[in-house]
Amino acid sequence: MKDLTGDCMKKKANQKFIRMIRSAAVLSGAFLGGILLFAASPSVAHAAMHEHGYTYRYDYWEDVQDSPDVFSVTASYTSADLALEVKMKNPQGLYANGDFLYICDTGNNRIIELKRDDAKRLSVSRIIDSFTGDSDLTTFSGPTDIAISEEGNVFIADMGNTRILKLSPDLEYIMEYGKPDDSALDQGVIFQPYKIVVDAAERVYCVARGINKGLCKYEADGSFSGFVGALPATYNLWDYIWKRIASQEQLAKMTSFVPTEYDNLYMDYEGFIYAVTGNVKEEDLDSGQVNAVRKLNLIGNDILVRNGDYENYGDLYWGDGGGHQGPSLFSDVTVFDNDTYVCLDRNRGRAFGYDDQGRLMFAFGGNGNEDGYFNWAIGIEHMGTDLYILDQQTASLTSFSLTEFGQMVFQAIDQFDHGDYTASGETWEEVMKLNGNYDLAYIGIGRSLLRQKRYREAMDYFEIKYDDENYSKAFKQYRKEWVEGHIVWIVVLLLALFLIPMAIGRLHKIRHDIETADIFIVDQ
């Protein structure tokens, strides 16, 4: 058996060193590239910017590999394109429900409902800026998120009015949710509900600004039932030691060890909550103290599968090109029905797609004013297999559709999920024809062969891409299969190894007895 585990350990041990070297290379390369681009003509500069392609991913050794585009821009919508009389201002929320897409136009205290037609074009269906019913205040103040239950009831995070509203499908007031009634919560904290999701039983889960105890959970009757899914507090060893020996005055000047807040939520079709945080530091990510994306079950435990070669926090190398420093900062996440999910990085305007095993499928985007680039990417949603990304700074919405390459990748994943392993393997082979460096294609073929009980062939594909975990699974099954297929010969061999020495020993004893008997007779 090939020692893939040893290779993996060597790779992990050198990760930080490699990151330091490459970060320095990124900085020097960016500096040199900036000089060259400045000196070049506009057309040459534009070509240089796209020399390495729009879409990329990282291989096992964490090298950047160009990839055919998985998604391509199909349309871009501004206030003018949507024929809005009042331009969108500081939009902060995006939500899809059926053929409707909702933009929380926070700066204008309203929600814009868009309808998608058969040609996938969006148009304004209605403007939601008020509601009816028994409430003292029937308008919004800085709405930041919206969710619609299976019953059609509308939930709105009305942050400026410090409440979560529950409205009927006809926008009639039903109830509102206020500040959590919890003795452990600082009573001076102002309740600012920022992001919400609603489950099938109309329980509400809320991210509130200034509350870092986890998600605020409300039952269907509006009662607060506790906090779930709190992120762990982060600190380093030096801070911990210093706090043990510092004076009271010094302690007062130090930052407390407090949990990190979430930035956004998404509830998938099974009722699991995907939560992302952009409030992270480089050392927290490197140490594993904070996960930029989590998958929470009903009791708030993180059950996200992380079988990738590196952690799920976006870019691996963090230069400061273009004035954007530090790691990727996730502002939103959306989850497809095949359990692949896409995290949005507001720092560099990129989208990172991961499969259900936590392996990076693709990364695309960037900062800029061209189609497919963003200035402050704040929201991401999907309708079917189409993606929509909201830019807060430009108050614009961009739609993406799968390319031919992307369709094949998603088709291979869907076929595997539905148990059609042979077809999945064949589709992954087609993917390899378009991109021979696509690691997931090799792993996908290997997993398909593994499910078809073609273990020896599966081992070859896993070995190529250093997938030690799946290689071990295939080897274990191949060893079992080989033993079962050769059990008769194994038994014969074992018996032979046991009986032949016994027979030889017996023959030697008989010969010895005969020889000693002859000597005894002669002596007589």
Q: What is the DSSP string of 338-369?
A: TS-EEEEETTTTEEEEE-TTS-EEEEEE-BSS
Give me the pLDDT at residue 259, please.
Answer: 52
**How many C-beta atoms surround the C-beta of residue 283 within 10 A?**
11
Cα-Cα-Cα-Cα torsion 37, 39, 42, 48, nearest 10 degrees, comes to: -30
Give me the pLDDT at residue 403, please.
Answer: 96
CA atoms within 13 A on the CB side of 108: 19
Element (H, E) at 41: none
The three-state secondary structure class of 337 is coil
Tokens encoding 321: 């090109």
Closest CA to 262 of 281, 284, 279, 283: 279
Q: Kindly report, residue by residue over 176-209, the tens digit of the pLDDT.
A: 999 998 887 887 889 999 999 999 999 999 999 9
Closest CA to 441 of 41, 67, 19: 67
Residue 462 CA, chain-centre distance (Å), reads 22
Closest CA to 149 of 131, 122, 125, 167: 167
- Tokens 């030697």, residue? 508
Helices (H) and strands (E) in the chain, counts: 12, 25
Q: How far apart are CA 83 and CA 206, in angstroms?
A: 32
Give me the pLDDT at residue 252, please.
Answer: 47
**CA-derived radius of gyration, the chain:** 30
Query: How would you class 76 by CB atoms within 10 Å of its CB: exposed for 0-12, middle for 13-18, buried for 19 or more?
Result: middle
Q: How far apart are CA 126 and CA 176, in angstroms?
A: 23
Q: Rounded to whole angstroms, what are the CA distances from 203 to 148, 166, 299, 404?
A: 12, 11, 13, 39
Q: How far apart are CA 325 and CA 257, in angstroms?
A: 24
Closest CA to 107 of 123, 122, 131, 86: 86
Sheet containing 93-97: give its strands across: 93-97, 100-105, 110-116, 122-128
Q: How far apart are CA 265 and CA 478, in angstroms?
A: 42
Give me the pLDDT at residue 328, please.
Answer: 93
Tokens encoding 502: 């016994």
Give me the pLDDT at residue 257, please.
Answer: 41
Query: Is 84 in contact with 126 (CB distance < 8 Å)?
Result: no
Closest CA to 164 of 148, 177, 179: 177
Paired with 101 in beta bridges are 96, 114
Q: Rounded to whole angstroms, what are the CA distances from 171 to 99, 166, 178, 454?
A: 18, 9, 19, 57
Query: Is 275 in contact with 294 (CB distance < 8 Å)?
Result: yes
Q: How far apart are CA 282 and CA 328, in angstroms?
A: 10
Q: How far apart are CA 123 and CA 116, in angstroms?
A: 7
Q: How far apart are CA 279 and CA 268, in angstroms?
A: 23
Buried b (16+ CB within 10 A) or exposed e, 208-233: beebbbbbbbbeeeeebeebbbbbee
SS3 string, 443-510, reads HHHHHHHHHCCCHHHHHHHHHHCCCHHHHHHHHHHHHHHHHHHCHHHHHHHHHHHHHHHHHHHHHHHH
First-residue to last-residue Cα distance in the chain: 65
Query: Is 383 in contact with 96 (CB distance < 8 Å)?
Result: yes
Q: How far apart are CA 455 and CA 475, in angstroms?
A: 7
* Residue stretches of the chain with pLDDT short of 50: 1, 5, 8-10, 12-52, 251-258
The amino acid present at 374, given as its one-letter code, is F
